[in-house]
Structure 1
Amino acid sequence: MPRIVLRALQLLGVAWTLPNTVAGLLLGLIGLPFGAHVHVRGRELAIVFHDWPWGPGGAITLGNVILHTGESLDSPCMTYAHNAGHANEPSIVLADHERAHVYQYMVLGPLFLPLYLLCGGISARNRFERAADRYAGLGHGWWPW
């Protein structure tokens, strides 16, 4: 695919998921006075708030924003299937997993969250999480269907 076409599609995706991104930005900004700091990650096509002070640990993506409780997205993590005891899989890189979610948001826009919740929310059963783990492990396959 020509680079200009890819960039145009990315811009359309960014615009399509803008409501989700705005929600992520608002949550990220609320975390700044509590120790969060912000960076732009071009590879992830996302604004990342590191050291976000709330949550059980890890990261959550909202549009083109990633809220991360740790210091670096380049840290290893286990897949959802591994954590649930469904498979013995090697660790993946958190940035790769969250990048898959950014791509999913850019395609589905405002439909992402309702579909994500209908597919099981934050769990190993969720096809969105399985696809993000697959992408992080193999470098392809981020689409959940």
Structure 2
Amino acid sequence: MGTRWSSFRTAVNWVNGSTLAGLAVAALGGATRERGPDGVFVAGGYRLPVPAQPCFTVGSVVVTRRPAQWLLDPRRAELFTHEVRHVGQYALLGPLFLPAYLVACGWSYTLTGSYGCRNVFERHAGLSAGGYRELPLRPWAGRVRTALTRPPR
């Protein structure tokens, strides 16, 4: 990610309101925020039970249940990069990101029983970097896929 993209992404997320929403969510969850690199805020100490993930992103705000410095530690660079990819997704979709993300969660859960492994947004952000793992399709979904990809006779 270059500085131009980072600056553009940050500005777009302010304009589309998603960063303001992220700061509000962080404040409602009792998180304290600090500036991270490339215009991203990291809000640590989030205390609400929803969502269940240890980290999540709203606009240019990455929220974590742990202290912000935990996520900013170089040993978690891969996880931080995963979350920053979501920041870019918010810049592209704006307020449509959250409903699109929820639909993708539903699709993934329907196919696999996991909200993340077939979620297009999590796949783009890097499944393993976000703590997700590949799971097989449910048996019915595998049969449908096989039927759809079978060459005609």
8 Å Cα contact 2:14/2:20 also seen in 1? no
**Number of residues of Structure 1 aligned to a counterpart in Structure 2:** 116
Residues 18-97 of structure 1 correspond to what in structure 2 (within 5 A)?
A: 18=17, 20-32=18-30, 36-43=31-38, 45-55=39-49, 56-71=52-67, 72-74=70-72, 93-97=78-82
Does the CA contact (< 8 Å) of 2:19 and 2:60 recur in 1?
yes
Query: Of the two structures, which has the highest relative contact order with CA contacts closer than 8 Å and spacing of 6 or more?
Result: 1
Higher normalized strand content (fraction of residues): 1
User: In structure 2, do the counterparts of structure 1 residues 95 and 29 end up closer, same or farther at CA, with 3 Å as the change threshold?
Assistant: same
**SS where residue 9 of structure 1 aligns?**
helix
Q: Determine the C-alpha separation between the residues in 1 that align with 2:123 and 2:48.
A: 24
- The runs of at least 4 consecutive aligned structure 1 residues that moved more than 6 Å come to none
* Greater per-residue helix proportion: 2
Scaled by the length of structure 2, the TM-score of the pair is 0.61
1:133 aligned to 2:126?
yes
Describe the shift of the 1:37–1:57 C-alpha distance in structure 2 as closer, same or farther (beyond 3 A): same
Q: Deviations over 1:74-117 (max 9, x none)?
A: 4667xxxxxxxxxxxxxx72211100000111111111112112
Q: Which runs of 5+ in 2 are unaligned?
A: 107-114, 131-153
Match of 1:119, SS state, is: helix
Distance 1:69 1:30 in 2: 13
Q: Secondary structure at the match of 1:52?
A: coil
Q: Within 2, Cα distance between the matches of 1:8 and 1:49?
A: 20
Matched residues, percent identical?
31
- Whole-Å Cα distance in 2 between the matches of residues 11 and 27 of structure 1? 18
- RMSD over aligned CA atoms reads 3.0
TM-score (normalised: structure 1) = 0.64
SS in 1 for 2:126: helix
Instruction: For 1:10-21, list aligned pairs within 5 A.
Output: 10=9, 12-18=11-17, 20-21=18-19
Answer whether contact 2:43 2:63 (CA < 8 A) is retained. Answer: yes
